[in-house]
Amino acid sequence: MEFHPDELLGPLNEVEKKFAPKKVFAEGNIEILRTGFRISLVGSRRASREGLHNARKIARLISERSGVVVSGLAKGIDTTAHTAAIDNGGKTIAVIGTPLDKVYPKENAGLQSLIMRDHLCISQFPSGYPTQPKNFPIRNRTMALFSDATVIIEASETSGSISQGWEALRLGRGLFISQWLVEKRSLNWPEQMIAYGAQVLSEESIEDFFDTMPERCTTLELDAITL
């Protein structure tokens, strides 16, 4: 089904409207948008073992607190975040860079079908729209809009996740960076983002992190709407 973003998120302010898509297409249970805080977990397609471990752990913690894991259905961190949420009985939203009737990468066809059936999949690209590299940073802006906060799990200097980090900061949403990335001397972007308000996510700060999330109902007051 087709929606204006404010039909799903409520009225957008002028900052949110600047890069918001004119319309989005959604398939699945839209009540997920109303039943818990939403945290984007994003990162490298070629993720390290530590990055994948951290994605699984944070997705599990979000699910245990009735939050929603948002990610982009890409290889690596995204796939791990979605599957960890599902495996731990949580909810997940995929914001994808293709139309809903296409799959990228193709090996995630089963996962995309599962999310469309039991969770929620969102795209700003209409059927027939070509899959191009530029779609994915555009998608990242929309993912930041649909999330209360973004966590960058793992990212190189050229990762598309960095564009989502800057968009989260521009929107005034929480941006959190895994501590082990901040400690990597080879990376410059964490320090730059911290200067603009990003926070370090560590073992010690994880509970404070969850305390900053907005409260939404965690049980459905209405029957779930299946699109």
Provide mean pLDDT across the span 111-140: 96
Provide mean pLDDT across the span 205-210: 93
Identity at 150, one-letter amino acid code: T
Query: Which pairing describes strands 68-71 and 38-43: parallel, antiparallel, or unpaired?
Result: parallel
Q: Which of 1-5, 36-40, 182-186 comes out lowest in average pLDDT?
A: 182-186
| pLDDT at residue 225 in the model | 35
User: What's the pLDDT tens digit per position in 75-115?
Assistant: 999 999 999 999 999 999 999 999 999 999 999 999 999 99
- Angle of CA points 20, 21, 27, to nearest 5°: 120
Provide mean pLDDT across the span 219-224: 36
Whether the per-residue pLDDT at 217 is higher than 70: the answer is no
Model confidence at 215, in pLDDT bands (50, 70, 90)? confident
CA-CA-CA-CA dihedral for 75, 213, 191, 15, to nearest 10: 90
Model confidence at 216, in pLDDT bands (50, 70, 90)? low
User: What's the pLDDT tens digit per position in 152-207?
Assistant: 999 998 888 999 999 999 999 999 999 999 998 899 999 999 999 999 999 999 99
Predicted TM-score (pTM) of this structure:
0.93
Model confidence at 223, in pLDDT bands (50, 70, 90)? very low
Domains of the chain in sequence order: 12-211 (3.40.50.450)
173, 149 in Cβ contact below 8 A? yes
The mean pLDDT of the chain is: 93
Whether the per-residue pLDDT at 218 is higher than 60: the answer is no
Query: Which pairing describes strands 120-123 and 149-154: parallel, antiparallel, or unpaired?
Result: unpaired
